[in-house]
Structure 1
Amino acid sequence: MGVNFKKIIYSIKTKLLKPSLYNSFLETEKALLSESIHDLNFKKRQTLVKHAFKNSAFYGKKYAKVLNNVDLISTEDFLKLPPLTREELAKNFNSIKVKGLKPWQIRKVTSSGSTGQPVSVLHDLRFPISSLQWRILSWWGVKPYENQAFIYRYKRSLLKRIGNTIMWWPTRRIFLPGAEMNLVHVKRFVLKINRLKPALLQGYVDVMYEFALFLLDHNLKIHPPKMVWVTSAPLLEHQRRIMEKAFKAPVCDQYGNTEVLLIAAECPNQTGLHILQDAVHIEYVDDNYQPVPPNITGKILITDLNNYAFPLIRYEVGDRGQYSLGQCECHIPLPIMYAVKGRQAVTLELPSGLGIKSEHLHLLFEKQIKTIREIQLLQKKDYSVELHYIPQINSTTTYEVNNIVRSLVHRTRNEIKITPIKVNTVKILNNKKPLIISELPR
């Protein structure tokens, strides 16, 4: 089926069935080009804070002591607003949501709890997230009406699959459930990819990485997509290299979470992640919530500029990262952040009280892992650590494993026992494969 035919049908369906999506895309792209992104960002923060103060019982009470005037006059006023913690979010769901919401305007979602306790939020369906996805796809030359392939963790229901086929026709979207990742299903998926030649291959980091290993292990080839889009977990450089080798396509890293789906993403230059600053506001702060300079790791605070149903303002999401003042040569008018490497709440604990953040261990492993597929640290109740690892097929990992153990012994100041254990699979927690699983009481 011709690309022009798909483009025409897709355009007609979008304008008729989802005009809010089409108009949102045009409006956001026009705004991005028409004025300073920083001015636009601050105007949206002003409007959001005023809305939350008036329509959310939680923010009305929280800001009453710090806002003499409902209107934000300066960026300094915004910095005076107390951050929203995960604990507050977990305890105040009903008072955070605004009044008068209709059921079709919202969708309730719950996080996996990888940064601590699970939290629930409402997504505001009045702002179509697809308009931001279209923008990122456009950076890579992918059109939304081109065929696409996805790898999700679980199989979708028959009703959803039928609905998806009807909604996207004549564009084809194909899916592989990560929970059914075996050679038979992988070969079927490869045949579909090679027949439909999708421009996009998208999925969670862990299942995409597993799919790439299947292809390399069994010498399977797929028609190269224009881009591979991964999300849901930090992307390690050795994982990127494996994927690009297997898929013969560039890998786009994206930062987002359950609470705020799209925050930043790479362009083809891959010099960092472009912050979608007309849709979100990101701050990097120290433990006292004071701004940190560029290239210094800080706690990340997120403000979702488009969620008027369930405002998230200066939300301490639980991630840590850095931003850059550098400019990308792509000329996209959006600032740059570096990829988030770990989760603030997940640490390796020592008897002396020292905690080693997973972001530091990610960096350590990135430099050393070459013959290991996957790695995971299981900390027992006596503080000892089991280093679970899965070797690459036909690879000798003894030297590499010994080096990693020595590095961990050094980083943990020889306070804990570290035992390497070869395994067939690493543990899954909250539908993810975390770097650290701890049995220590929180």
Structure 2
Amino acid sequence: MQNKFSKLLFSIKTKILSPKIVGLYQKSNENLIQRDLDGLNFKKRQELFKHAIKYSDFYKKKYAHLDFSNIELATNDDFLKIPPLTRDELRLNFEDIKSSNVNLNKCRKASTSGSTGPSVSVLHDKRHPETPIRWRILNWWGIEPWENQAFIYRFKKPLWERIANSIMWWPTKRVFLAAANPSSKQLATFVKTFNKIKPTLLQGYVDVVFEFALYLLDNKIKIHPPKMVWVTSAPLFEEQRQLMEKAFGAPVCDQYGNTEIMLIAAECPEQNGLHIMQDTVHIEFVDANNQPVPANTSGKVLLTDLTNFAFPLIRYEIGDEGKYLDRKCACGRSLPLMDNIKGRQSKQIVTPSGLQIKGEHLMAMFDGHMKLFREIQLQQQQDYSVCIFYVPRKAEKTGVEIDAMVHLLKQRARFEITVRHEKVEHVTRVGKKSPFIISDL
């Protein structure tokens, strides 16, 4: 009865207060029925390119040398001639990138935390919110937007924001845990409320959700299983996934998104890779010359937001690496697949000879050793030495595992660098995140 009432009231409130979101959600589902998603994607790129040249001073200058810049993209080969937008360009040209014909009241400014380098800012186009794509992903997992949900954030939200959130979502219930050093009482209260409202979704940053999972396992605490656990904002170790699924009694959904472009790709229940939201974002995996690499081959990521006309992001080189998957998903959805991002904007470990050890390779190397640790962080000093800072989950066997990780890193670095380890209570935070690699080089 409660669920029916929540659904009815949610539907009425949404149609009255946010009718556009309902329309966009319906349109997004219609997009997936189309046979020619590639054609839809390219048409949107054409429109965005034409808009950027007309209304953005930055792109007018950047694309002035292109022989087709005064007309439009005719083919995908034309699109591949467009020079990528670098993070430095984004950071230094915020005002010029903005579209001159967009009312700033229709925008929302967002800035990165700075965990992967100097912070950059963008404008999100509120005319095209992320909510319809979020609902799409939740629907894959059998979760409806009017069902109760739980969230774990690193910091506590302001009181006014919590009150506004409760009013906006009533009678749907939402419970929040601020995971920055929560007390035993706060954890117990969260668990009690969680089991009372029985949320179908638990969402949060990978590291804080993992911490909560370890708290449950270490204290043999059971919670009502949600339908899905949605983790964001950092690469996911497979051992972390396994422990979280054990603690929550629910599958863990990995997704790829960032501050600049919120929802890019996400897993469905088949967990056979991440489905790319091809109707709202264009993603490329390219080589050093910004040309496509074959499927199943790693390349740097270029992103084009197909919905943001207030602040165009075209072939944006975000600093990640990933790859297309040439297989089809058993779920039957038409959206293409990409591999889970492992080197998300992480800095690399570098040796004096110039050898670069990517974050994704380190994650794969350490993946068999993560069950005994709450957190791991590598910090490289100016003399190239590396310290592996770790927060142990349990004291026993930790020394053996961390020694093994030190040896693996030394071996991978061809013994060119000094590697040591140090136990800490917390790894270094940058903004709201805990970077896997911090480098002073």
Query: Which band: TM-score by shorter chain?
Result: over 0.9
Deviations 1:259-318 (A, max 9, x none): 000000000010100000001000001112121111111100000000010000000011
Shift of 1:320: 0.5
Q: Counterparts of 1:23-422 in structure 2 under 5 Å?
A: 23-68=23-68, 69-344=70-345, 346-393=347-394, 395-422=396-423
Q: Distance in 1 between matches of 2:323 and 2:31?
A: 26
1:374 Cα shift? 2.0
> Aligned to 1:14, what secondary structure does the other structure show?
helix
Q: Within 1, Cα distance between the matches of 2:39 and 2:324?
A: 19
Matches of 2:187 and 2:415 in 1, distance apart?
43
- Scaled by the length of structure 2, the TM-score of the pair is 0.97
SS class of match (1:13): helix
3-state secondary structure, aligned to 2:172: coil
Q: Which amino acid aligns with 2:281?
A: V
Give the Cα separation in 1 of the matches to 2:288 and 2:34: 37
What secondary structure is seen at the aligned counterpart in 2 of 1:193?
Answer: helix
Q: CA deviation at 1:162?
A: 1.1
Matched-pair contact (CA < 8 Å) for 1:215–1:246: yes
How far residue 439 of structure 1 moved from its aligned partner, in angstroms, is: 2.6
- Aligned letter for 2:431? N
SS at match of 1:137: helix
Structure 1, 12-21 or 354-363: larger mean CA deviation: 354-363
What's the offset of the Cα at 1:164? 0.7
Greater shift, 96-105 or 276-285, is seen at 96-105
Q: Residues of 1 paired with 2:346 and 2:437: CA distance?
A: 10
1:99 deviation in Å? 1.0
| Worse-matched range after superposition: 349-358 or 137-146 | 349-358
Secondary structure of the 1:184 match is helix
Q: Which moved more, 1:163-172 or 1:99-108?
A: 99-108
> 1:351: how far off?
1.7
Deviation at 1:423, TM superposition (A): 2.2
Task: Give the Cα separation in 2 of the matches to 1:183 and 1:380.
Answer: 36
How many angstroms does 1:9 deviate by?
Answer: 0.6
- Secondary structure of 1:282 counterpart: strand
In structure 2, what is the Cα distance between the partners aligned to 1:165 and 1:180?
24
Q: Distance in 2 between matches of 1:365 and 1:386?
A: 15
CA distance in 2, matches of 1:23, 1:272: 28
Work out whether residues 285 and 300 of structure 1, in 8 Å CA contact, stay in contact via their aligned partners in 2.
Answer: yes
SS in 2 for 1:171: coil
Over residues 214-243 of structure 1, what are the superposed CA-to-partner deviations in whole Å (9 max), with x where a residue is unaligned? Answer: 111222211000000000111111111111
SS at match of 2:415: coil
Residue in 1 that maps onto 2:439: 438
Give the letter for the 2:398 counterpart: T
In 1, distance between residues paired with 2:166 and 2:189?
Answer: 18
Distance, in Å, in 2 between the alignment partners of 1:179 and 1:101 is 38
AA matched with 2:260: E
Alpha-carbon distance, 1:158 to partner: 1.3
One-letter amino acid matched to 2:46: Q
In terms of mean alpha carbon deviation, does 195-204 or 283-292 score higher?
283-292
Give yes or no for contact 1:42–1:75 (8 Å, CA) kept in 2.
yes
Q: Deviations over 1:128-152 (max 9, x none)?
A: 2100000000000000000000111
What 5-or-longer segments of structure 2 have no aligned partner? none
Deviates further, 328-337 or 105-114: 105-114
Secondary structure at the counterpart of residue 281 of structure 1? strand
CA distance in 1 between counterparts of 2:275 and 2:162 reads 32
Q: How many residue pairs were aligned?
A: 440
Gaps of 5+ in 1: none
SS where residue 122 of structure 2 aligns?
A: strand
SS at match of 1:145: coil
Contact 2:283 2:304 in 1 (8 A): yes
Deviations 1:367-418 (A, max 9, x none): 3333233211122232211122222225312322222121111111111111
Residue identity (%):
55
**Does the 8 Å CA contact 1:347/1:436 hold for their aligned counterparts?**
yes
Distance 1:190 1:343 in 2: 31
CA distance in 2 between counterparts of 1:360 and 1:387 reads 16
Deviation at 1:325, TM superposition (A): 1.1
